Amino acid sequence: MEVDTNKNGESRQSPHQNRNIKSSEYIFSDENGNLCDGVRIHPEFEKLIHTLSSEELTELETSIKAKGCLDPIKVWKGYIIDGHHRHLICEKHTIPYEVLEIDFEDEWEVKKWMIDNQLGRRNLTDASRIEYASLRVDIIRGVAQRNQEMSRFGKKEELSLEGLPARTKRSLERRSEKQSVIVNAAIGKMAGVSKSTVARYNYVKQHADDETLKNLREGNLVPFGSKNKKKKLSVDGLYRELKKQERKNNAQSRVSKSTHRKDNLINTGSDVEEQNQGACPIGDVIEEVEFVIKKECSKKLFNRIITHPIDELHRFVDPGSVDVIITEPPCKEEDIDLFDELGDFARHALKDGGVCITICENRHLIDFMEMLRAHLDYVWLVSLDADAVKYGAPNGHINKLWKPVLVFSKGIPQMKTFSDVKNSIENIVQSFSDRGDVICDPFCNEGEIAKICVENSRSIVASDMDVAKTDTLKDVFL
């Protein structure tokens, strides 16, 4: 055993790595090389500890008072990294405990170890797991960026979390949509949840108050829903409630600013047709993109083009004014959040009982469905013929011959009897809508669905961000 001396010349035990020793004999060297007694609290490390409920804390205190502190307090350079609650109870009741010192290279490694330790707990809520996993991903990305900068500028000194340059911190905060999907996937894998749950929790974190977030993380029983029954909050349930409130607030805001008629259904009588001339159940006229035509039909037909992204369509489409949504959004991994925005828009635009029909790809199908289920009710899964495409797979490949078509509704679906095999878009249009119905395609691309609707005497509202593509529809509509 190595021996050291203090300022008074007394021999004292020198600290060893990974040593287990009684608290009364524990000695460590501080940052200045001075030998110190006891353990200490690091505020950054303390923040990473899962807070126990009052019941859990009382149970732990009773156990320690009866049996003693059976597990050692783990420390790094004198700072507690595991056992904050045990240490607090032992100090309160003067109960002896053992100290286990563990060696790490720096604070980054300590925090990663602490987060992994917390993620191994069984009583963590999904919200707490996502929080810890998010911290771990940020630490990994921060370390990688720090090492890159140190290599670039030839820096040898250590860089703590608090010492990150402002530019580095901003780069961690500024994530593109594609990076966000990748990060959410990594966080979800660590936390044991889907990446869509991670995305929903991020939304909840931005919109919920501190008390609600605290109850969500700790799994407390709180009054919830219209009946105020006490239950544990869930990420998905709270997300739906917040989205519902957001839609309600947006609707109230639009109504207060809008001057157009609230009753936007077109009367079919010949005596009122003249006074309804130009009326449109989709809202005010957008001069540069609106085209109205007349055809022989029991309902007045109109066609309309909007060149705006999905998250802005609420401003141009009246609530409850669309019979059916038929669309094919982009379906890559980075586009998953578009299905959440589609579900939100469909909840706003569809009439009660209206149907949202979404053509998508087999990959990430579960994620697409989860996004839509946050806003709408699942009805059915229909198949659509597709061009054969080969996808690589272990020891072979997959021949894709069909596309899934998701059918969701706003409430109890009001639609005709349909067959669950639809081999063309035209069959889908004819089976899920009637002549004169208003159909919306928020991702119209070059307008295949819009053209079929025109040919089958349906009113169509088509939207796409690509002006060049929407311009090709003008000749069809006029």
Q: What is the pLDDT of residues 327-343, one digit of tens each?
A: 999 988 888 888 988 99
Q: Token pair of 33, please?
A: 């090389």
Q: How many CA atoms lie within 13 A of 449 on its CB side?
A: 28
Q: How buried is residue 76: exposed, middle or buried, by Cβ count under 10 Å (0-12/13-18/19+)?
A: buried
Ramachandran bin of 154, using left for φ above 0, alpha for ψ from -120 to 50, beta for the remaining angles:
left
pTM over 0.85: no
CA gap 315, 301 in Å, rounded: 21
* Cβ–Cβ under 8 Å, residues 143 and 108: yes
Question: Which pLDDT does position 405 carry in this prediction?
Answer: 93
Q: What is the pLDDT of residues 424-440, one digit of tens each?
A: 889 899 989 988 899 99
Lowest mean pLDDT among 294-303, 304-313, 367-376: 294-303
Q: What is the pLDDT of residues 254-301, one digit of tens each?
A: 556 554 444 443 333 334 333 334 434 443 333 333 344 443 445 678
Q: Mean pLDDT across the stretch 309-335?
A: 89
Ramachandran bin of 457, using left for φ above 0, alpha for ψ from -120 to 50, beta for the remaining angles:
left
Q: What is the pLDDT of residues 89-109, one digit of tens each?
A: 998 898 888 888 888 888 888
CA gap 46, 87 in Å, rounded: 12
Bridge partners, residue 157, by sequence: none
List of domains in the chain: 3-103 (3.90.1530), 126-240 (no CATH), 271-477 (3.40.50.150)
C-alpha closest to that of 315 among 280, 278, 286:
286
CA gap 119, 377 in Å, rounded: 33
- Which one-letter amino acid corresponds to residue 15? P
CA gap 196, 459 in Å, rounded: 34
Q: Token pair of 360, please?
A: 């998508």
* Cβ–Cβ under 8 Å, residues 113 and 103: no
**Gyration radius (Cα) of the chain, Å:** 31
Residues across the chain: 478
